[in-house]
Every structure is written in C-alpha cells, then in structure tokens.
Structure 1
Amino acid sequence: MRLVILISICWISLQNTFGQSFEEMKHLTDDNTVYKQFRQFYYKYYFLKEKDTLLVKLYTKPEHIAPFELSWKLERKSKLTFEQDYTAIHYLAMTVKAGDYFGQASLLQYDYLSKERRGMKHEQTGLVEVCSDISITPPTEGHFLITELNPRPEIREPLIKDNTWYSTHTTSDVGGSDKWKTWQGAVEVSSSYRIRDIQTIKTNIGFLKCFIIDANAQSLVGETRLVAYYNEEYGFVKLNFTNIDGSYLVMDINSVKKF
C-alpha cells in the first residue's frame, strides 16, 4: 500500500506548471516550436542603476581571498579599462540543449560571454513550452541571482490583448546577497501577468510583431516587475526587469542561430 502511495506521489510531482502528463514531458523538447533543441539565442544586456549603465565584471582571485559570489561585480560600462573590459560579460547565450531538466522541463543553458563571445561561465536550468504556453527561468549565476525574485518570462494562451494569468515559483535557499537584499531560506514568489498590447517593434534581428506582457511579482522580500516582448517565431526578444533593489536589468535579442 505504501508503495502504491509513493508511486502516486511521484506521478503527481512530475506534473509541471501547465499540467503536463508524464508522456508529454518525455517528449517536451521534441515538441517545442519556438525553443527547439540546439537553438541558440544571443542577448546583449545591461544593468541600469542610478542612471549608470553597468556590466558584470569577473574578478578571478582565489576563493580564499574573494568568495565566488563576491567575484561578480557591477562596473560602469563607460569607465571600464581595456583590461577590465576583457573580463567583463557583454553577452548572454541561451541554448536549448539535448536532454531534460530533472525530467520536468527542457534543458536550458546560459553561457556568459565576453565581448569576443568567449565563454567565461555557464549554468543550466529549465524551460517549459507546451503549445503557446511558455515559461523560462532567467539567468541566476553570480550577480544575476537577483532575478530570482523577479517574474519569470511567461506567455500563455490565448494570445490576445488583456489575457491575464497567475504563476508562482520558489527561490533557491541561497538567501540573496548583501549587494541587493538578503533573506532566510527559500521564498515563494507570486506573479500576475497581462498581455498589455500587440505591436511591431524594431529589434537587432528585424522588425517583429510582439506581444507586450506586463508582470508584477510579490514575495515576503518585496515587489518586482517585468515587461516582456514575445514574438511567436523568436520567443522573448526583449526583457526589462525591475529588480528588488530598484535597479533594472535589460536583455535585448542580438542574434538567433542553430548549431
């Protein structure tokens, strides 16, 4: 009897946010139409804080001198020396990989790239795409951990103006950072979404028809926001996060390819 109950619990736990069955999850990436396996999305990004445009700079000191998290620092883009610019992160590459993420999502890898697109760090996480319902975990390595409290980029059917929906996710138990805000243990983040408008906008890959999504997130730590621009062929082509410390993180699509 206990075995039957355990199997039932495991089966239920395999249902993702959009209520997929186990059979659907097994072929999750194969069925993707936007975030297809091996498709790669390059983004330019910047942080904006107190009118300064900032990039993340890596300081490669030994861990006993500078803990890993402290080695990621925001530096003013206009003040970077040639040497500093060499180890600054200029691009984020988001790649849909083979396999799955703990059996519940497509496998997504973020690569943190220099100006010459040299890989400096990477991390793996998950995305869910079911028909036109998509949810993506944003980058969370180093200083990008600040996005844990933000609404996740999401789109849901029907793709019409004023469509609204709600979503929740839980942060890791890292507890944030003194650089923006700290908390104890994992925190639940509740987000509300609304398709505000449908417009054709200019991007680095051309003029694209986009669904403009306003999202607001609340947690015990505070409130954050996201304005996302979604295109049916290229996915999320622009993300404008308002972070927990009042700073902004902007990600703009730069190119898309399949390797």
Structure 2
Amino acid sequence: MTKTSLIISLLISFSGICQQYDGVEIEKSKIDKNNTIYTLGKQFVFNINIENNGEVLYIKNNEDNSIQLTKNCDSAAITEVHLTVIKPKLFQRTNKHQTEIYYSYEPNPTSISATGIVENQKNIWLHPPRNGFFKALETCPFPYIVKNKPVGFQWKDSMSIGKHWGNKLWGEWNDRLLLNYKYEITETEILNTPFGEIECSVINAIATSEIGQSRLKAYYSEDFGFVALHYTLFSGIEIDLKLDKIIEGSILRSARDFFENRYQ
C-alpha cells in the first residue's frame, strides 16, 4: 500500500456532537488568533500512566471493540498522547467556535481524532482524548479553568453522555448518563516538570452520576496550559497524563497534512 493510500484509508473520528457545559464562555470571533497557549502548529506531548489498585497497566490494544490492558510494559502499543493544534480548512471546523485539535496515539498512530479547545480571556476548556481506552475520560470532568480567580473559587456545570461511552472497565449504563460537575481551585503548587519548576493552579473536580463519582485533579500553568491531569474513573482506575514536551511545528490543515508534515 502506498503512503498516500494509507493516509486516505486511515480512520479519522470526529466529535461533532454538541457538548452541554453551558457555563463555558465561547468567543464568536478570533477563535484561534487570541490563543496564547494552544497556538497553531504546536504539538503537546503527554506521557501516560495507568494504575488499578496500585498495579501499573499498559494499553496493549486500543481498538474500541477489543480494548486490552496488560501488566507487561513491553506489550504497550501506546506510550504517549499527542495534542496538535490545527488550522482547519474553511467550513471544516469540527466544533463551532472552538480551536481545532487532533489527538493521536503514539508512537505508531493509525488514526487521529478531531475535536476542539476553548481558550480566551475568561476560561480554558478542552475535550479529552476519546478513542479506545480513552473513551473512559468522557465519564470524568473535562480539563477546565475559569481564569483570574482566587484559591477557593468554585463553579458547577453538567453534561449528559450516551451509553456508547460506557465499558465494563470503567462503568456501564442504559440510555443517557447525567454528569453533574463541581470544580474548585484548591491551591497553587510548584510542580517539577520537564520545563523546570513551574507554578500551577490546582483544580479539583468531581463528576457525580447515578452510577458513582469520577474525579479529575488538574494542574494548570499560565505559560504551558494543562501540564498534568490525574483522572480517577468510576471503577477506581487511575489515569495520569503528564506534559513531557511541546513541539513547535508547521501549521497543518488536514489529516493528510498531519501524517505527511507533522514534525516539520
């Protein structure tokens, strides 16, 4: 198979379903131009750590119908999640009024998922990765900060999700599941990162539903965005995504661009 035909045949999953999260302030213009963190061409590389009852697990198969976790690190098929900021072609933005991003699952991606980020003077909010095992993150609070607020500031939001986001690994339900979120900026903390010691706002969030609670502890930097995300699923499985590097790449316009030029 040629490189071109391979690219054409790759699965691209789009998340165009409208999200509730009614409290998020979304700008109507200058959607990408006013970004200071998630700017066009940047690629944010996150390391992955998964634990269940203190036992480290790895993703062996990330296909939706055959998700497999393993204790054997040599069998890991995915070791990183990459978030790449895209400049979509006219009328091809996946989520209206949101900066376009692609998630890829590395080191050997066979597909990408297109979704969005909201970044402006009021707040930053982003869709998590959501393919294969990462569908689990749809059941947790999304990374979200209301800017220029003090420690102790709280806010609420909500969203309902379909049963296709469920799985026996993290929870199953019938029909739709209502998630009620409570967020709080609980402290500031100096975090040791690959970029040095940086001051972060710590956001603790809980999603409450009829089948239990899920949690997110997010570390946000004004210079680097969300640098660490610690999720706890309904089932108790813990997922850590930690920002390892930021790559300044060329501005990409499409899936073809991504696979051909993402490191240029």
User: So what's the TM-score if we normalise by structure 1?
Assistant: 0.81
Give the Cα–Cα distance (whole angstroms) in 2 for the partners of residues 94 and 49 of structure 1. 25
- Per the alignment, residue 62 of structure 1 pairs with none
CA displacement at 1:172 relative to structure 2: 3.9
**For 2:41 and 2:223, how far apart are their aligned partners in 1?**
15
For residues 119 and 176 of structure 2, what CA distance do their matches in structure 1 show? 25
The Cα of 1:149 is off from its aligned counterpart by: 1.2
1:3 aligned partner: none
Structure 2 distance, partners of 1:192, 1:109, is 27
- Quote the offset at 1:169 in angstroms: 2.3
The partner residue of 1:47 within 46, 50, 54 is 50
2:95–2:115 contact (8 Å) kept in structure 1: no
Work out whether 1:162 is the aligned partner of 2:168.
no
1:61-112 Cα offsets, whole Å, 9 max, x none, are: xxxxxxx423321111xx244xx34xx1000001111133331311121110
For the 8 Å contact 2:181–2:208, the answer to whether it is kept is: yes
Is the contact between residue 124 and residue 147 of structure 2 (CA under 8 Å) also seen in structure 1?
no
Instruction: Identify the residue that residue 232 of structure 2 maps to in structure 1.
Output: 242
Q: Report the CA distance between 1:220 and its aligned residue.
A: 2.2
Of residues 165-174 and 105-114 in structure 1, the stretch that sits farther from structure 2 once superposed is: 165-174
Distance 1:247 1:175 in 2: 16
Deviation string for 1:218-258 (max 9, x for gaps)?
Answer: 12222111110000011000000111111100011100122
Inter-partner Cα distance in structure 2 for 1:109 and 1:172: 22
Higher Rg: 1
Conserved 8 A contact 1:239-1:252: yes
Q: Select which of 90, 96, 105 maps to 2:98.
A: 105
Query: CA separation in 1, counterparts of 2:111 and 2:59?
Result: 12
Determine whether 1:89 maps to 2:78: yes
Deviation at 1:204, TM superposition (A): 1.9
Offset of residue 121 of structure 1: 3.3
Query: What are the residue-to-residue correspondences of 1:1-259 with 2, within 5 Å?
Result: 17-20=23-26, 24-58=27-61, 68-76=63-71, 79-81=72-74, 84-85=75-76, 88-99=77-88, 100-114=93-107, 118-259=108-249
Identity, in percent, stands at: 24
Cα offset, 1:16, TM superposition: 6.4
Match of 1:8 in 2: none
Deviations 1:95-144 (A, max 9, x none): 11113333131112111002xxx324321112111214011111111111
Query: Pairwise CA RMSD of aligned residues?
Result: 2.2
What secondary structure, in the 3-state scheme, does the structure 2 residue paired with 1:147 have? helix
Give the Cα–Cα distance (whole angstroms) in 2 for the partners of residues 16 and 101 of structure 1: 18
The answer on whether the counterparts of 1:191 and 1:215 sit within 8 Å (CA) in structure 2 is: yes
- Mean CA deviation greater in 40-49 or 101-110: 101-110
Higher relative contact order (CA 8 A, sep 6+): 2
> Do the aligned residues in 2 keep the contact of 1:205 with 1:253 (CA within 8 Å)?
no
The offset of 1:54, in angstroms, is: 1.2
Q: 1:126–1:163: structure 2 CA closer, same or farther, 3 Å change rule?
A: same
**Aligned match of 1:9:** none
TM-score (norm 2): 0.79
8 Å Cα contact 2:22/2:157 also seen in 1? no
Aligned structure 1 segments of 4 or more residues deviating by more than 6 angstroms: none
Work out whether residues 226 and 241 of structure 1, in 8 Å CA contact, stay in contact via their aligned partners in 2: yes
Q: How far apart, in 1, do the equivalents of 2:123 and 2:229 lie?
A: 17
